[in-house]
């Protein structure tokens, strides 16, 4: 009886896996380029281009589940049956921009790219964007025929040179690529040294340290014409691989790029899912967007801390635990509405605290937890976080997601990252 059950369960798991991936997908990538456009009042998603890469480097299990909600979502349905066969979540610079004052008066367009496994049959793709109250604000549904002759093949030849920095040994490691931004051809060895430093810094933080065999890190030598990156508040503009610049939304230290297609063009043919871009500058700054990219200055003294903080955003979907006493940018007043529970795992508005770290609290932990009690409650509910001094709470007094001086992630961030790593890699 036991033998029969065993055989049955092997068969069942084989069928589930086959249905999950091999039944519907080839081990190649379909790259979907979109334009997100609009203003505070009306938003649009348009399809720009489709392309095919020679391999797939994302998840092959738990295809129809998202570990985190994100601000955007892509769903793939088998056209013949209407069945959901793949989903992923993400956030975008466009949605951050919608929270600026400029978005109240001006329409803008942003590039955005999604990668999905290459479908074997016709599929229906639905991409949606949500606002900070989790209300849908834009949607596009379109069909993809895998044999469409206008799907351009990329990455089959002329692949950007790259070097393996760290190799995981689990069956399906998480593939992270590190790109060079503002490094000229003769500076590539310096870039490889910086990429090595970034990986060492990430892998010196828990839970990445204990789970380092779950990651592959590869450094890609994307070359720039000019050295350094653009710094608008110093009137310095540079011609670089991804046209990144400081002063995003007029915030001096916010370093981002809106040239998303260029990033993915540089990566065609290289197995990747998560992206880190190192900028060849000693100016302080960076940015990280969930399931989009991390971008950080490689020659500032805080590099090691900042690259891990931004990777906490782009890989881990963690929120900023810091808050400002005064306005320092064009961002509108309140980022997280206080009547909605944010989807990020390391902040809460207490609207649905059960979904957060309530089960990690010691019995009788006061809410809010006074900072004077921090030694008694290493995990608490401390007021201030997500850019707000009041109404948003964080799990610990300090954390890698709050300051560059604190040496590690707080226990709640560590737990959230651990769960996510297992989501991607568990058999
Ligand atoms: Zn934290």
How far apart are alpha carbons 417 and 316 in whole angstroms? 6
How far apart are alpha carbons 287 and 13 in whole angstroms? 40
Q: What are phi and psi for residue 354, nearest 5 degrees?
A: -55, -30
How far apart are alpha carbons 98 and 43 in whole angstroms? 9
Q: For residue 91, report the distance from its CA to the centre of ligand 1, in Å.
A: 19
Q: For residue 360, report the distance from its CA to the centre of ligand 1, in Å.
A: 13
In three state form, how does the secondary structure of 130-159 look?
A: ECCCCCEEEEEEEEECCCCCCCEECCCCCC
Q: For residue 408, report the distance from its CA to the centre of ligand 1, in Å.
A: 9
Per-residue pLDDT of the chain (427 residues; tens, 9 = 90+): 333 444 444 434 444 444 579 999 999 999 999 999 999 999 999 999 999 999 999 999 999 999 999 999 999 999 999 999 999 999 999 999 999 999 999 999 999 999 999 999 999 999 999 999 999 999 999 999 999 999 999 999 999 999 999 999 999 999 999 999 999 999 999 999 999 999 999 999 999 999 999 999 999 999 999 999 999 999 999 999 999 999 999 999 999 999 999 999 999 999 999 999 999 999 999 999 999 999 999 999 999 999 999 999 999 999 999 997 665 555 556 789 999 999 999 999 999 999 999 999 999 999 999 999 999 999 999 999 999 999 999 999 999 999 999 999 999 999 999 999 999 999 8
Give strand ranges (E) for 223-368.
274-279, 286-289, 293-297
Do 89 and 68 touch, CB atoms closer than 8 A? yes
Q: For residue 206, report the distance from its CA to the centre of ligand 1, in Å.
A: 12
Q: For residue 382, report the distance from its CA to the centre of ligand 1, in Å.
A: 11
Q: For residue 328, report the distance from its CA to the centre of ligand 1, in Å.
A: 23
- H/E stretch holding 36 reads strand 25-38
Q: For residue 319, report the distance from its CA to the centre of ligand 1, in Å.
A: 8
How far apart are alpha carbons 123 and 187 in whole angstroms? 44
Collapsing DSSP to helix, strand or coil, 42 comes out as coil
Name the pTM for this structure: 0.94
Which residues on neighbouring strands pair with residue 143, listed in sequence order? 124
Do 125 and 74 touch, CB atoms closer than 8 A? yes
Q: For residue 72, report the distance from its CA to the centre of ligand 1, in Å.
A: 23
Q: For residue 371, report the distance from its CA to the centre of ligand 1, in Å.
A: 15
Q: For residue 320, report the distance from its CA to the centre of ligand 1, in Å.
A: 8
Q: What are phi and psi for residue 333, nearest 5 degrees?
A: -50, -60
Q: For residue 347, report the distance from its CA to the centre of ligand 1, in Å.
A: 8
Q: For residue 80, report the distance from its CA to the centre of ligand 1, in Å.
A: 44
CA 42 to chain CA centroid, Å, is 25
How far apart are alpha carbons 288 and 13 in whole angstroms? 37
Structural domains present in the chain: 20-153 (2.60.40.3250), 162-319 (3.40.390.10), 323-339+372-394 (no CATH)
């Amino acid at each position: 009886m036991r033998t029969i059950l065993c055989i049955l369960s092997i068969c069942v798991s084989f069928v589930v896996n086959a249905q999950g991936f091999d039944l519907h997908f080839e081990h190649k990538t379909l790259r979907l380029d979109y334009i997100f456009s609009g203003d505070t009042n009306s938003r649009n998603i348009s399809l720009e281009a489709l392309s095919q890469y020679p391999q797939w480097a994302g998840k092959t299990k738990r295809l129809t589940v998202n570990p985190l909600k994100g601000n955007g979502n892509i769903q793939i349905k088998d056209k013949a049956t209407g069945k959901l066969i793949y989903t992923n979540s993400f956030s975008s610079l466009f949605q951050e921009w919608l929270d600026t004052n400029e978005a109240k008066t001006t329409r803008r367009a942003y590039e955005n790219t999604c990668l999905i496994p290459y479908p074997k049959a016709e599929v229906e793709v639905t991409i949606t964007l949500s606002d900070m109250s989790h209300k849908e604000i834009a949607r596009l549904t379109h069909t993809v025929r895998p044999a469409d002759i206008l799907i351009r093949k990329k990455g089959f030849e002329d692949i950007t040179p790259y070097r393996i920095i760290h190799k995981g040994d689990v069956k399906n490691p998480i593939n992270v690529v590190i790109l060079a931004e503002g490094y000229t051809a003769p500076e590539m060895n310096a870039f490889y040294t910086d990429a090595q430093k970034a990986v060492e810094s990430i892998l010196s933080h828990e839970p990445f340290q204990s789970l380092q065999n779950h990651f592959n890190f590869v450094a890609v030598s994307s070359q720039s014409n000019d050295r350094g990156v653009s710094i608008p508040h110093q009137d310095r503009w540079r011609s670089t691989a991804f046209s990144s610049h400081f002063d995003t939304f007029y915030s001096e230290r916010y370093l981002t790029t809106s040239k998303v297609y260029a990033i993915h063009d540089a990566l065609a043919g290289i197995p990747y899912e998560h992206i880190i871009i190192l900028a060849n500058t000693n100016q302080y700054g960076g940015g990280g967007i969930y399931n989009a990219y991390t971008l950080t200055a490689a020659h500032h003294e805080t590099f090691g801390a900042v690259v891990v903080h931004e990777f906490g955003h782009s890989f881990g979907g963690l929120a900023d635990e810091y808050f400002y006493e005064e306005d320092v940018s064009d961002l509108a007043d309140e980022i997280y509405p206080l009547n909605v529970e944010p989807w990020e795992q390391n902040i809460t508005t207490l609207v649905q605290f059960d979904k957060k770290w309530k089960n990690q609290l010691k019995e009788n932990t006061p809410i809010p937890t006074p900072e004077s009690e921090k030694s008694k409650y290493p995990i608490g509910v401390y007021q201030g976080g997500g850019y707000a001094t009041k109404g948003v709470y964080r799990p610990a007094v300090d954390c890698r997601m709050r300051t560059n001086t604190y040496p590690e992630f707080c226990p709640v961030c560590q737990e959230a990252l651990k769960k996510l790593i297992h989501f991607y890699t568990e058999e």
